[in-house]
Every structure is written in C-alpha cells, then in structure tokens.
Structure 1
Amino acid sequence: MRVLLTGRMDNDAANQAIADGTMPKLLQSLVEQIKPEAAYFTTTNGQRTCFFVFDMQDSSQMPAIGERLFANGMSVAIRPVMNLEDLQKGLAAIDR
C-alpha cells in the first residue's frame, strides 16, 4: 500500500542532530530502509519536516520505521495515500 510518512522534528533535537552529524545518517538509513518513490523536505509550523511516499508491504513495518524516528525527536504520521491512477481506479469501481 502506498503511504505518506510525515516526520516533523523538534527544533532542539534537529539542531543537535545537525551539529553532531546524526541527521544525514538518520535520513540516509531511512531512505535505504523504505526506498521512497518521492522524498520532500520543508518546514511546517516552524519545524523541519520531511515527507516520504513509499510502498508499505505490511503494517508490521510501522514500528521498525517509527521507533527510530521517535528516538530522534520526531513526531511521525503514516497514512495511506493515492496517486491519480489509484483514484481513477477507485472511482471507476464505485457502483452507481
């Protein structure tokens, strides 16, 4: 299932992770683990935020993904998403 992972990092934790060099390592290991089809980085409400779209094979993957991020001061949300093709397929399946 295609999902969107949103990670928002506390500013103090992010500043420390950048200063000690753990931020690039954390992001690189996450990318290697989830193999996203898209990755975006921005700010949300004044906090560093990342968005990853990837294919989650099973919900049991959530702890392995989330716990590493939680341990590094991030708030995490993982939710199912669709691309345009998925939406068109879903709409076509609606029994009218």
Structure 2
Amino acid sequence: MPKAYLSGLMIMHKPSEGHVNASVINEFGISLIDLSYDEKKDKVKLHSITDKMNKWYIKRALSNDFKNILKAMREGSYEYLNTKRKIKYSFQPANETE
C-alpha cells in the first residue's frame, strides 16, 4: 500500500476439495482476518476481522482481493496487484504439511 505496510503469516487449510480456510496473523500472533473460500461458488466469506479494518468498504475490497489471490495461488503465482487501489500482495510459500 502506498502509505502502509503489513506483514505476517497467512495460514491456509484445505479441509475438503473446493474449500479453503485461511487466517492472516501479524508478527505478534494477533489474528487480523479469518476467512473461507468456496472454489465452486467463487465466494470469499470473512468470518472475523480486526476492529480497525471492520468497515464495509475495506471488507469488500479484501474479499475481492483474497478471491483473486487464492485464484492466482491455484495457478502458481504468489503475487497479486490490485491496480485500482495500488495494493500489492506478495507471498512466499512455506513447506506444505499434511
């Protein structure tokens, strides 16, 4: 983002085919966002979000961005740029576990 920077972990879990659950956690271990993605319906549902980000316009932008991020990750890309808002998301995958 032009005037802000956020880093942390995005932990993803695929409980069944076509579904992804994820949490974004900052360096202090505080959960910022909990979400789920249904690949078949192509929908993101935000289950919880930190108070400072709990605004309808932020939630809508994040839902759309995470939908595009998860699609890009499925195709093997670990970067996404929201050109409208000039927000760049970069991910570095860790080792997958079972």
Point out the structure with the larger strand share. 2
Higher RCO (CA-CA < 8 Å; seq separation 6+): 1
TM-score (norm 2): 0.26
Write 1 or 2 for the structure with the bigger share of helix. 1
Which of structures 1 and 2 has the bigger CA Rg?
1
- With normalisation by structure 1, the TM-score equals 0.26
